């Protein structure tokens, strides 16, 4: 039996590599096997990013509702941030699907556009799923501004079936033959309401 030298071993190894490089069978399967984990990873990261944007969109609606609620409190002369505005903003945000930390309220707020407003900031921390390899968690922050402004020219639309719907004078009266409340139609009578 002939003993292989290191030169023979190197030559046979090089010839095997050369034969392998010219062999095209199974190349597609090998490339797919190498690329598939990366494709799945980037797809999952794209889905997770889409989830973050969906949460941001939902929280923006909650921030808008919270800002409007806080502005109504200011209009009613309830301007204490801790006693009035934060509870009103928290309740409105929760009713609109927000489940993060307590809203941040800034009143009075002014910038180059807004002269008298209320700012609500909502922050919600989401744990990273696949993104946890890069980011342990993501803080989704949304902000809404409601302007508190007294209207000079009021517009009232009254739809009456007969006569005048609203009359203003020394004493105001409202003739509303049909009132709509909470999905029920009520008929207004002079001595009371019937439903």
Predicted confidence (pLDDT) per residue in 101-143, tens digit? 999 999 988 888 888 899 999 999 988 787 777 778 889 999 9
Q: Which of 95-99, 134-138, 183-187 has the lowest mean pLDDT?
A: 183-187
Evaluate whether 131 touches 45 at the Cβ level (below 8 Å). Answer: yes
Residue 65: which of 38, 41, 96 has the closest Cα?
A: 96
Comparing 150 with 124, which gets the higher pLDDT?
124
Residue 125: its H or E element: strand 117-127
- This prediction's pTM: 0.60
Evaluate whether 17 touches 106 at the Cβ level (below 8 Å). Answer: no
Q: What is the largest CA-CA distance in the chain?
A: 125
Of the chain, the end-to-end C-alpha distance in Å amounts to: 110
Q: Hey, what are 159's tokens?
A: 């739809």
85 pLDDT above the threshold of 50:
yes
Q: Hey, what are 151's tokens?
A: 């209207």
DSSP 150: -
Evaluate whether 110 touches 117 at the Cβ level (below 8 Å). Answer: yes
């Amino acid at each position: 039996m002939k003993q292989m030298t290191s030169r023979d071993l190197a030559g046979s190894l090089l010839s095997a590599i050369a034969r392998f490089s010219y062999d095209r069978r199974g190349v597609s399967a090998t490339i797919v096997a190498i690329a598939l984990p990366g494709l799945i990873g980037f797809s999952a990261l794209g889905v997770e990013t889409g989830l973050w944007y969906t949460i941001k969109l939902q929280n923006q609606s909650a921030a808008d509702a919270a800002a409007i609620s806080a502005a109504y409190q200011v209009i009613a002369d309830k301007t204490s941030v801790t006693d009035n505005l934060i509870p009103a903003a928290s309740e409105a945000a929760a009713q609109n699907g927000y489940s993060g930390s307590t809203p941040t309220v800034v009143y009075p707020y002014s910038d180059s556009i807004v002269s008298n407003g209320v700012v609500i900031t909502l922050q919600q921390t989401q744990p990273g799923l696949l993104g946890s390899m890069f980011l342990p968690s993501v803080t989704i922050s949304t902000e809404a501004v409601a302007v508190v402004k007294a209207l000079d020219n009021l517009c009232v639309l009254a739809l009456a079936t007969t006569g005048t719907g609203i009359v203003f004078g020394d004493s105001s009266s409202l003739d509303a033959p049909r009132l709509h409340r909470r999905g029920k139609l009520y008929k207004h009578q002079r001595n009371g309401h019937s439903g």
